Structure 1
Amino acid sequence: MKQLEELVKLIPQIAEDNTIPSVEITGITVDSRQVKPGYLFFCIVGYTVDGHDFVEQAIANGASAIVAEKPLPDCAVPVIYARDVVKTLAIVANAFYDSPTQQLSLIGVTGTNGKTTVTNLINEMLQANNHITGTIGTIQMTIANQSYRVANTTPEASFLQHSFDQMVKEKVDTAVMEVSSHALELGRVNGCDFDIAVFTNLSQDHLNYHGTMENYFLAKSRLFQQLGNSYAKEKPKYAVINADDDYSTRLIHQTVQPTLTYGIIEEADVRAENIVLNENGCDFCLQTYKGSIDIHSKLMGKFSIYNMLAAATAALLRDIPLAIIKKVLETTNGVSGRFEPVNRGQSYGVIVDYAHTPDSLQNVLQTIKEFAKGKVYVIVGCGGDRDKTKRPFMAEIACKYADQAIFTSDNPRTENPGSILEDMIVGLNHTNYQLEVDRRKAIEKTIALADESDMILIAGKGHETYQIVGKEMVPFDDREIAANAIMENS
Structure 2
Amino acid sequence: MNIKVKDIINILNRENQIVDIKVLNQSDIISNVTYNSKAVKDKDVFVCKGLNFKEEYLTDAISRGCGLYISEKIYNYNIPYIIVKDARKSLALISKLFYAEKTEKLKLIGVTGTKGKSTTSFFIKNILDLYLKSKGKMLSGIISTIDTYDGSEISESSLTTPESLEFYKLLNNAVNNELEYFVCEISSIAYKYSRVYGANFNVGVFLNIGYDHISDVEHKDFDDYFSSKIKLLENSEYIVINKDLLRYDEINEVLNNKEKDKIFTFSIDDKADYKAINIKRKNRFTSFDLVHNGETKNYNLLMSGLYNVENAIAAIIVCEILCIDYKYIFKGILGSAVKGRGEIYKTKDGKKTLIVDYAHNELSLKRYFEFIKEEFKDKKHICIIGAPGGKALNRRKEIGTLCYKNCDEIILTSDDPFYESFDNICSEIMSFIPKYKKIRVIENRTEAIKEAVNSYKNEETIISILGKGSETSQNYNGISRDYISDSVNAKIFVEEYNKNINQI
For the criterion TM > 0.5, the same-fold answer is yes
Taking structure 1 as reference, are residues 137 and 287 closer, same or farther at Cα in structure 2, changes over 3 Å only? same
> 2:126 and 2:432 mapped to 1: Cα distance?
45
> 2:117 and 2:291 mapped to 1: Cα distance?
22
> 1:481 and 1:6 mapped to 2: Cα distance?
51
- CA shift digits 1:118-152 (9 cap, x unpaired): 11111111122226421111122112373134431
Q: 1:222 matched to which residue of 2?
A: 231
Question: In the alignment, does 2:31 pair up with 1:26?
Answer: yes
Question: In the alignment, does 2:301 pair up with 1:297?
Answer: yes
- CA shift digits 1:55-74 (9 cap, x unpaired): 23323434332212222333
Q: 1:375 matched to which residue of 2?
A: 380
> 1:16 and 1:113 mapped to 2: Cα distance?
39
> 1:35 and 1:122 mapped to 2: Cα distance?
37
> 2:437 and 2:449 mapped to 1: Cα distance?
17
Tell me if structure 1 keeps the 8 A contact 2:107–2:202. Answer: yes
Question: Secondary structure of the equivalent of 1:356?
Answer: coil
Please tell me the residue identity of whatever aligns with 1:462.
Answer: G
Taking structure 1 as reference, are residues 149 and 31 closer, same or farther at Cα in structure 2, changes over 3 Å only? farther
CA RMSD across the alignment = 2.2
Q: 2:197 matched to which residue of 1?
A: 190
> 2:273 and 2:113 mapped to 1: Cα distance?
19
- CA shift digits 1:235-256 (9 cap, x unpaired): xx11111111122222243242
Taking structure 1 as reference, are residues 177 and 8 closer, same or farther at Cα in structure 2, changes over 3 Å only? same
Tell me if structure 2 keeps the 8 A contact 1:351–1:458. Answer: yes
- CA shift digits 1:185-217 (9 cap, x unpaired): 011111111121101111121111212212110
> 1:430 and 1:272 mapped to 2: Cα distance?
42
Q: Indicate the larger mover: 380-389 or 200-209.
A: 380-389
Tell me by how many angstroms 1:478 deviates. 2.0
Tell me by how many angstroms 1:30 deviates. 1.1
> 1:49 and 1:10 mapped to 2: Cα distance?
24
Tell me if structure 2 keeps the 8 A contact 1:372–1:454. Answer: no
Decide which of 134, 149, 153 is 1:146's aligned counterpart. Answer: 153
> 1:135 and 1:267 mapped to 2: Cα distance?
32
Please tell me the residue identity of whatever aligns with 1:118.
Answer: T
Decide which of 92, 95, 104 is 1:93's aligned counterpart. Answer: 95
Question: Secondary structure of the equivalent of 1:129?
Answer: helix
Taking structure 1 as reference, are residues 59 and 345 closer, same or farther at Cα in structure 2, changes over 3 Å only? farther
Tell me if structure 2 keeps the 8 A contact 1:308–1:329. Answer: yes
Q: 2:288 matched to which residue of 1?
A: 284
Please tell me the residue identity of whatever aligns with 1:389.
Answer: N
Tell me by how many angstroms 1:270 deviates. 1.5
Question: Secondary structure of the equivalent of 2:173?
Answer: helix
Question: In the alignment, does 2:168 pair up with 1:161?
Answer: yes
Question: Secondary structure of the equivalent of 2:60?
Answer: helix
Taking structure 1 as reference, are residues 346 and 189 closer, same or farther at Cα in structure 2, changes over 3 Å only? farther
Decide which of 268, 271, 277 is 2:272's aligned counterpart. Answer: 268
> 1:138 and 1:388 mapped to 2: Cα distance?
20
> 1:143 and 1:79 mapped to 2: Cα distance?
33
- CA shift digits 1:401-437 (9 cap, x unpaired): 2233223332222222222222113243473431313
Decide which of 408, 412, 432 is 1:407's aligned counterpart. Answer: 412
> 1:157 and 1:188 mapped to 2: Cα distance?
4
Tell me by how many angstroms 1:456 deviates. 0.9
Tell me by how many angstroms 1:178 deviates. 0.6
For normalisation by structure 1, the TM-score amounts to 0.91
Taking structure 1 as reference, are residues 14 and 224 closer, same or farther at Cα in structure 2, changes over 3 Å only? closer
> 1:48 and 1:86 mapped to 2: Cα distance?
13
> Number of residue pairs matched?
477
Tell me by how many angstroms 1:117 deviates. 0.9
Question: Secondary structure of the equivalent of 1:315?
Answer: helix
Tell me if structure 1 keeps the 8 A contact 2:380–2:459. Answer: no
> 1:335 and 1:37 mapped to 2: Cα distance?
43
1:242-261, aligned counterparts within 5 Å? Answer: 242-255=242-255, 256-257=257-258, 258-261=262-265
Structure 2: gaps spanning 5 or more residues: none
Q: 2:450 matched to which residue of 1?
A: 444
Q: Identity of counterpart residues, as a percentage?
A: 27
Q: 2:119 matched to which residue of 1?
A: 117
Taking structure 1 as reference, are residues 340 and 32 closer, same or farther at Cα in structure 2, changes over 3 Å only? same
Please tell me the residue identity of whatever aligns with 2:390.
Answer: D
Tell me by how many angstroms 1:352 deviates. 0.8
Q: 1:361 matched to which residue of 2?
A: 365
Tell me by how many angstroms 1:289 deviates. 3.5
Tell me by how many angstroms 1:14 deviates. 6.9
Question: In the alignment, does 2:427 pair up with 1:419?
Answer: no
Tell me if structure 1 keeps the 8 A contact 2:161–2:186. Answer: yes
For normalisation by structure 2, the TM-score amounts to 0.89
> 1:181 and 1:68 mapped to 2: Cα distance?
24
Q: Indicate the larger mover: 453-462 or 430-439.
A: 430-439
Q: Indicate the larger mover: 186-195 or 98-107.
A: 98-107
Q: 1:73 matched to which residue of 2?
A: 76
Question: Secondary structure of the equivalent of 1:325?
Answer: helix
